[in-house]
């Protein structure tokens, strides 16, 4: 099946124009982060490019600390989600016990509760636990995840049940089977879910805004908000440098894992 040349040209034109439009805001931010304030104010094309904005952003704000906090929080949430989701998915696929269908329904029901609808008591729970401004307060509430459980369940289902029966006859317990057979077989799905979990945790906004009050645990997203509100002089170059620093890790992750993420998310969402 070959595409006629005329149609090919039309497609490339459409692809390029759309690509430019979609990417324009990001491109603009990248360009501005290297431009001097004078160039930005006069709206001219960059006359000189420098890292000044980055130096100043890191100098005026504990951005490095924020980045480290975001990294720790995102990694911990990612790991927590992977462990809890895979354990739950294992139970739903391989274990047969009374009440399993009911529990499965409970998991589905959790997807209908928006986090924002229960955020007030959640905040009070974290406060009463003394978890304000701590890593547990920023991570533990997000460990249990119905979407991740469903995605992995879909994947685990493809593992033949006979394999488990055989391993049980060979004296292998469920936990060992989960660790040594199921997890390695499902590593692609685990990776997909991991990337997804990292992306969403890194980009979290409302919860860290509520539960962080100092620089020790503040995430880079809230740092960026502060940078934007505290820059009195409309120093857009510095603000954009901060924004670029925030998006670089997730953009890289997305560029590396785009095709896998697409496959994994479609599977989890639709089957």
Partner 1 sequence: MSMNSTAIQQTPKSQINFEQVKKKQRMKNFSKGMLFLLPSIVLFSVFLFYPLARTIYLSFFLTDAAGATTVFVGWENYVTMFTSPIFLQSMKSTFLFVLYTVPITIIISLFLAVIANEKLKGIGFFRTIYSSTMGISVAAASVFWLYLFHPSMGPLNLLLNAIGAEGIGWLTDPSWALFAIAITTIWMNIGFTFLILLGGLQSIDSSLYESADIDGAGYFYKLRRITIPMLSPTLFFVVTVTIINAFQTFGQIDILTQGGPVNSTNLVVYSIYREAFVNYKFGSASAQAVLLFIIILLMTFLQFKFGERKVHYQ
Site residues (CB under 8 A) for partner 1, limited to 63-82: none
The residue within the footprint of partner 1, chosen from 34, 35, 39, 40 (CB under 8 A), is 40
Q: Please name which of 85, 187, 190 lies closest in space to residue 142, comparing C-alpha atoms.
A: 85
| Contact range with partner 1 by CB under 8 A, out of 51-59, 71-79, 102-110, 184-192 | 102-110
Number of Cβ within a 10 Å radius of residue 228: 14
The residue within the footprint of partner 1, chosen from 98, 101, 184, 214 (CB under 8 A), is 98
Site residues (CB under 8 A) for partner 1, limited to 116-155: 116-125, 140-141, 143-145, 149
Place of tokens 């997730």: 250
Does position 183 interact with partner 1 (CB under 8 A)? The reply is no
Does position 6 interact with partner 1 (CB under 8 A)? The reply is no
- The angle subtended at Cα 201 by Cα 33 and Cα 219, nearest 5°, is 55
User: 131 CB contacts (<8 Å, ≥6 apart)?
Assistant: 137, 140, 211
Does position 161 interact with partner 1 (CB under 8 A)? The reply is no
Where residue 171 falls (left for φ over 0; alpha for ψ -120 to 50; beta otherwise) is left
Site residues (CB under 8 A) for partner 1, limited to 221-260: 221-222, 224-225, 228, 236, 239-240, 242-244, 246-247, 250-251, 253-255, 258-259
Does position 19 interact with partner 1 (CB under 8 A)? The reply is yes
Cβ atoms of residues 222 and 138 within 8 Å: no
């Amino acid at each position: 099946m070959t595409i006629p040349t005329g149609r090919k040209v039309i497609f490339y034109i459409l692809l390029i124009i759309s690509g430019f439009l979609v990417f324009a805001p990001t491109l603009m931010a990248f360009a501005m982060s290297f431009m001097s304030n004078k160039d930005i104010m006069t709206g001219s094309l960059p006359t000189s490019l420098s890292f000044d904005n980055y130096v100043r952003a890191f100098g005026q704000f504990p951005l490095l600390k924020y980045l480290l906090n975001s990294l720790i929080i995102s990694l911990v949430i990612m790991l927590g989600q992977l462990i809890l989701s895979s354990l739950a998915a294992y139970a739903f696929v391989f274990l047969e016990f009374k009440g399993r269908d009911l529990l499965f329904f409970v998991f589905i029901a959790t997807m209908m509760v928006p986090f924002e609808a229960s955020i007030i008591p959640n905040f009070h729970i974290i406060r009463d636990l003394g978890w304000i401004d701590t890593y547990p307060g920023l991570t533990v509430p997000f460990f249990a995840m119905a979407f991740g459980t469903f995605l992995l369940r879909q994947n685990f289902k493809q593992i033949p049940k006979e394999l488990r029966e055989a391993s049980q006859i060979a004296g292998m317990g469920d936990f060992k089977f989960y660790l040594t057979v199921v997890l390695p077989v499902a590593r692609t799905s685990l990776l997909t879910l991991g990337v997804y979990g990292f992306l969403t945790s890194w980009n979290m906004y409302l919860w860290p805004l509520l539960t962080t009050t100092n620089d020790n645990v503040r995430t880079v997203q809230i740092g960026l908000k502060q940078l934007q509100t505290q820059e009195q002089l409309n120093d857009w170059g510095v603000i954009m440098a901060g924004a670029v620093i925030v998006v670089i890790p997730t953009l890289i992750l997305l560029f590396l894992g785009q095709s896998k993420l697409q496959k994994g998310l479609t599977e989890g969402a639709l089957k």
